Amino acid sequence: MTKANKLRWGILSTANIAREKMIPAIHAASSSEIVACASRNQQQAQAFADQTNIPTAYGDYQQLLDDESVDIIYNPLPNHLHVPWTLKALAAGKHVLCEKPIGLNVAEVKALITATNDYPHLKVMEAFMYRFHPQWQMAKQLIDEGKIGKITSIDAVFTYHNTNENDVRNKPGIGGGGLMDIGCYCISVARFLLGKEPSQVLGKLAIDENFHVDKHAHALLDFGDVSSSLYCSTQSEASQRVYVSGEQGSLTIEYPFYQPEQCETTLVWQQHNHTSSQHIAGCDHYVHQVDALAKAITTEQPVPTPLSDALANMKVIEAIATSHQNSGWVAID
């Protein structure tokens, strides 16, 4: 740590999510600063560093990990590189914030969790930034306080349109497809709001004939007395919404996952034919995520979203894919 007790970050790769979201957030966070970045070649790394106001650039990922001035690594590499480079970062003595989904499958996430036992002083967290937006704390509070009564169903939708053949999300074998990229949000939010795990899932995927990854995904998650449906798509008009139905009302979360230009968000709940709204000022939930992880590190407390949560989410993702293959319900242990 620096004398100012700021967490010193290294950015692993020049991914767009780093350039557009995480680097501005780390620069803005009171808890943190960026000291270095890395790409697969020095020229690209230096250009990225110049554009994003990062003092040191490396043309090799391992060189970044070996930099003793770096406390924590942000890993936004393609999905199949999440676990391998997170493991390398741990071996180099670095904390890690890794983009979601943190692994390709359940086995990978379990292996990562096992490996972290050898580094009890280091923190690893999956980057589900939406959890750090105040609207979700408020939504959870409204539900827990019984404002809409007992929950009966949750419906989540997240879509965008991307047919770029060079985009990693459209490449098979490395974790491409909509379910891994955005369906994971729909799963996560149902688990978060209900505070428990589904016992079984039913899923159906539409596979793009050119990219060979899922372009549309539908799923039903069985939580016992509550069901949650999700739809995600990488080839639909951009949209997002979460609707929670209860015995005494309903709750709608506007802009649940991504807020354009940090716009104001609104929670709308209906109760006994009366509609109420709660407006939440625009904010950068990426900054909140950075500060929350930094606090966990500096105070030696558990991270807000532990790897056990990442594992539980991956179990559902994997079960949905299996359900599509088997054309039936799949139980989750």
- Of 241, 288, 294, 242, the residue nearest 128 (C-alpha): 288
CATH of the domain at 66: 3.40.50.720
CA distance 10 to 5: 16
Q: Which pair of tokens denotes residue 165?
A: 């053949």
Query: Does residue 177 sit in the same domain as residue 274?
Result: yes
Query: Does residue 91 sit in the same domain as residue 183?
Result: no
Q: Which pair of tokens denotes residue 116?
A: 């972290």
Q: Considering the domain boundaries, does residue 96 fall inside one?
A: yes
Residue with tokens 């590189």: 81
Name every residue whose Cβ is closer than 8 Å to that of residue 141 and which is 6 or more positions away in sequence. none
Q: Which residues of the chain have pLDDT under 50?
A: 3
At 173, give phi and psi (nearest 5°): 85, -10
**Which residue, 77, 102, 127, sits at the end of a domain?**
127
Query: Does residue 231 sit in the same domain as residue 254?
Result: yes
Query: Does residue 16 sit in the same domain as residue 54?
Result: yes
Q: So what's the pLDDT on residue 262?
A: 76
Query: Does residue 161 sit in the same domain as residue 17?
Result: no
Domains of the chain: total: 2
Domain that holds residue 257: 131-286+314-331
Query: Does residue 265 sit in the same domain as residue 170?
Result: yes
Query: Does residue 190 sit in the same domain as residue 101?
Result: no
pTM of the model: 0.95
Residue 49, SS3 per DSSP: helix
